[in-house]
Structure 1
Amino acid sequence: MASRTISAFAAEEEKRVLSLKPVLAPVHGSYGNHPHQVYDAWPADDPAAPLVILLHGGYWRYDRMHLTPFAAYLSGQGFDVLLPGFRRSGGAGGYPETFDDVARIVDTLPQGRPYVLAGHCSGGHLALWCAARGLLSPGSRWYTADLPTAVLALAPITDLTATRRDDLSNGAALQLLGGMHVFEERLSAVDPLTLLRDAGTTGVPTVLLHGAVDEEVPLTQFTDYASVHRDLRTVVLPGTGHYTLIEPGAPGARAVADTLGEMSAAFGARRPADGSRKTPQP
């Protein structure tokens, strides 16, 4: 497949957002023994503040540092934020390790609290997959009935078959699943669209939010998923691209924060009306 051509608008947006200086979190922790099984935390002073767990993008290959400015931004909007790392493709991760780690994150880090699981791009894929773990066979290593309270998928990859077909990020889907020879065999356990086809819902309140001019993930990934997920809520932001959803202070990021606030309010968490909070202490 020929290399994608993107507009000057999209190229500038990507460069601007991914060039932001990483923000050091006030708290760090681990959920396992591997060096990638760690997390950054921006704790809220208010014990009733909404908990948000962020799963970073980067086509399952790259680390979480590019999402630290957005995590810090959300903390300033009144959220209790966790940003975990996990084993990634091209190194210690891929199938099954990436999925093992993400399952462990959502099974252990909330510590019984209600929360919104949010993910951007490939992190959105992982968030939607977490919501669908109850649709797996009970014999699956990842099956659970203890699902996220709610999921917000930001410009997510929803369809690994289409991701492979369109060769997004130079074979990222094939790399994630371990190559063409095992792709179809492994697909049914980790692909949100495949898992939903028969069930039609995960049972988890889910919002898919994306920009109308996203040039990174084909818009058909969003519409195809929405056509299968019968109780999905879709939010489309006019004039918005892929990366400004995670650009602190940008209209897209403000819309994300407002949506997280609405979703959290549905399960009783209180976000300060003015978004204010004190600086968290480690």
Structure 2
Amino acid sequence: MVSRVISAFAAEEERRVLSLKPVLAPVHGRYGDHPHQVYDAWPAADPGAPLVILLHGGYWRYDRMHLTPFAAYLARQGLDVLLPGFRRSGGAGGYPQTFDDVARIVDTLTGGRPYILAGHCSGGHLALWCAARGLLPPGSRWHTRALPTGVLALAPITDLDATRRDDLSDGAALQLLGGDEDLFEERMRAVDPLTLLRGAGTTGVPTVLLHGAVDEEVPLTQFADYAAVHDDLRTVVLPGTGHYTLIEPEAPGARAVADTLWEMSAAFGARRPDSTTAKGGRP
């Protein structure tokens, strides 16, 4: 087991961001009958604004509330933001339910619109996995040709095997895949972004990996190893930035995320408002 020791800088960053007060969304909805199959939405004032589906982190265990301040921040930048919940490890989720829910989210909640799928930490893992669903065998329950228009992975977990090896968050990867060491390798082949991409070289989905240069939560080797097998990946590294300031409203890292989302959205015709403080979230 690897003992996790973080600096005072990282500890303060984590405390500061995760202690932010949750923000109530103006719109709520459901995509299934389970209590976790819900979503919050911050609709943009501009009906032509790009849609961003935001997948939360928390090592597949925790709920989405810590990401509501960031979702509201992105809405203020003029984006149409949807923040879904899903069944999680340690309860009703894990393998296969978490993946069933995320697949259902992106297959049913977009209304046929182009969209950017963004995710932070373990949410980044799920976003990268969605981009790779076309690489799954056609007989897989999650195979699809209807892929995201673009993916922005924020400090993502990319390698479940390394996550298990490094014992990140007290066995989170093993718990996600059911807690059985004998089943881990088999299940990982269907849900691990690095494994799916190896040999293929690309998912065919425009993908950006954005992370802080001083991230102490997810080992930097995860980002480098994924970039080594993704031939057309764009990587953005923010100097002096840790893991959590990427989702801290108004922080330089969060502004870089908003800028990147607008840059990616320009590929399908979206135009950013002149003001960077455009209000999102109509009642």
Q: TM-score range by the shorter chain?
A: over 0.9
- Distance of aligned partners of 1:129 and 1:24 in 2 relative to their CA distance in 1, 3 Å threshold: same
Aligned twin of 1:147: 147
Q: Gapped runs of 5+ residues in structure 2?
A: none
Q: Distance in 2 between matches of 1:2 and 1:280?
A: 43
Aligned twin of 2:217: 216
Q: Deviations over 1:256-281 (max 9, x none)?
A: 00000100011111221213434533
Give the letter aligned to residue 41 of structure 1: A
Deviation at 1:177, TM superposition (A): 0.3
Preserved contact between residue 42 and residue 280 of structure 1 (Cα < 8 Å): yes
Q: Deviations over 1:138-169 (max 9, x none)?
A: 00000000000000000000000000000000
Runs of 4+ aligned structure 1 residues displaced above 2 Å come to 275-282
Structure 1 segment 3-18 matched on structure 2, within 5 A:
3-18=3-18
Deviation at 1:21, TM superposition (A): 0.2
Deviation at 1:198, TM superposition (A): 1.3
Q: Distance in 1 between matches of 2:254 and 2:177?
A: 31
Aligned twin of 1:51: 51
Q: Distance in 2 between matches of 1:269 and 1:279?
A: 15
Aligned twin of 1:244: 245
Q: Deviations over 1:37-65 (max 9, x none)?
A: 00000001111101100000000000000
Q: Deviations over 1:196-240 (max 9, x none)?
A: 001010000000000000000000000000000000000000000
| Partner SS state of residue 123, structure 1 | helix
Preserved contact between residue 67 and residue 247 of structure 2 (Cα < 8 Å): yes
Preserved contact between residue 118 and residue 151 of structure 1 (Cα < 8 Å): yes
Give the letter aligned to residue 273 of structure 1: D
Aligned twin of 1:205: 206
Identity of aligned residues (%): 86
Q: Distance in 1 between matches of 2:23 and 2:115?
A: 23
Preserved contact between residue 78 and residue 279 of structure 2 (Cα < 8 Å): no
| Partner SS state of residue 266, structure 1 | helix
Q: Distance in 2 between matches of 1:154 and 1:281?
A: 27
- Residue 110 of structure 1 pairs with residue 92 of structure 2: no
- Distance of aligned partners of 1:171 and 1:272 in 2 relative to their CA distance in 1, 3 Å threshold: same
Aligned twin of 1:191: 192
Structure 1 segment 86-105 matched on structure 2, within 5 A:
86-105=86-105
| Partner SS state of residue 199, structure 1 | coil
Note the aligned Cα RMSD (angstroms): 0.8
- Distance of aligned partners of 1:279 and 1:99 in 2 relative to their CA distance in 1, 3 Å threshold: closer
| Partner SS state of residue 272, structure 1 | coil
Preserved contact between residue 50 and residue 271 of structure 1 (Cα < 8 Å): no
Preserved contact between residue 44 and residue 282 of structure 2 (Cα < 8 Å): no
| Partner SS state of residue 249, structure 1 | coil
The count of aligned residue pairs is: 282
What TM-score results when the alignment is normalised by the length of structure 2? 0.98
Q: Deviations over 1:52-102 (max 9, x none)?
A: 000000000000000000000000001000000000000000000000000
| Partner SS state of residue 209, structure 2 | strand
What TM-score results when the alignment is normalised by the length of structure 1? 0.99
Q: Distance in 1 between matches of 2:13 and 2:273?
A: 30
Q: Distance in 1 between matches of 2:107 and 2:188?
A: 22
